[in-house]
Amino acid sequence: MISYKLNETLLKIEDVSLSYDGRPILKKVNAEIKNITRPGCITGQIVGFLGPSGIGKTQLFRIIAGLNQPTTGRVSINGWDKPVVAGEIGVVAQNYPLLEHRTVFSNLMVAAKQVEKDAKVAKEKVLAFLQDFDLVDKRNLYPAQLSGGQRQRCAIIQQVLCSEHFLLLDEPFSGLDLLILEKTCALLQKVANLNDLNTIIVVTHDVTAAASISDHIWLIGRDSDANGIKLPGAKIVKEFNLIERNLCYQPGIATSAILMDFVREVKEDFRYL
């Protein structure tokens, strides 16, 4: 068993419910992300919120990001006694939004200067990220000149530069071929492990990709009545600690038989959501 410790709470979702015109979309969603530490290494957090299409994942995504307010409940970060507000969590949407009239370097400088007022320090940070993520030769290109994978990397770096440890991604694996999917998973793990407090939250329906990089997964679904009819309002129906299942922090785990068994287990659960 991997030696680890769960420390302070980094993000907490408390009794979050959402209704439109009296129709429940989310119903008392609760989840808590804690700081994970392991002896002798830097370990950030990667967690997944999984659920089938149409279950309410996008609504939960927007509430976690502070972009929408829930009908009841709240999301808070770093133990602060207040709801999260837009801008406190870096958000990477599916279309990887970048300023089209600015180069890669200029896009990243805009982000870096939101946190670092010293232009020289901001430039050093940007150049270090470009080097780390193999984009140095793309620094003078515009977003329209980038491939989808390069654009994705830029959008992720942009949000890491301008947010404090938190990164929220909406369906980051959607439409990627196998090679780019593997690179995206490796990129997210690299970003998470830059700092012990870095926390990446992935909202997706891709069970296999999420399971291959996450330390915890929450499954979003709906309860059923006595006749098996689904009740309105999605909630967390199951939590998986992948560390306890020996599915984290091990080379080659993404293609292991034990991970594939876990993926089949979760996909079976999907049938009843």
The pLDDT tens digits along the chain (273 residues) read 789 999 999 999 999 999 999 899 999 999 999 999 999 999 999 999 999 888 999 999 999 999 999 999 999 999 999 999 998 999 988 777 789 999 999 999 999 998 888 999 999 999 998 988 889 999 999 999 998 888 888 988 888 888 879 999 998 887 777 777 788 888 889 889 989 999 999 999 999 999 999 999 999 999 888 888 888 899 999 999 999 999 999 888 888 999 999 999 999 988 777
pLDDT at residue number 173:
82
Q: Where are the alpha helices (DSSP H) in 114-236?
A: 119-132, 148-162, 178-192, 207-213
Q: Which helix (H) or strand (E) holds 1?
A: none
Residue 233 belongs to a domain: yes
Of 76, 88, 73, the C-alpha closest to 168 is 88
The pLDDT assigned to 133 comes to 82
152 domain residue, yes or no:
no
263: in domain? yes
Examine residue 139 and state whether it is found in any structural domain, yes or no. Answer: no
DSSP-assigned states of every residue in 215-256? SEEEEEE--B-TTSPBPSSBEEEEEEETTTTT-SS-TTGGG-
CA–CA gap between residue 185 and residue 187 (Å, rounded): 5
- For residue 159, what pLDDT is reported? 86
> Encoding tokens for residue 202?
């992935």
CATH no. for residue 41? 3.40.50.300
Is residue 229, in this structure, part of any structural domain at all? yes
Alpha-carbon span 252 to 21, nearest angstrom: 48
Residue 117 placed within a domain: no
Confidence (pLDDT) at 37: 96
Summarize pLDDT for 185-230 with one digit per residue, the tens. 888 898 899 899 999 999 999 999 999 999 999 999 998 888 888 8
Per the domain annotation, does 16 fall within a domain?
yes
Residue found by looking up tokens 């915890």 in the block: 216
Cβ(200)–Cβ(191) below 8 Å? yes
Domain of residue 79, residue span: 5-89+163-270
Domains: count for the chain: 1
The answer for 189, left when phi > 0, alpha when psi is -120 to 50, beta otherwise, is alpha
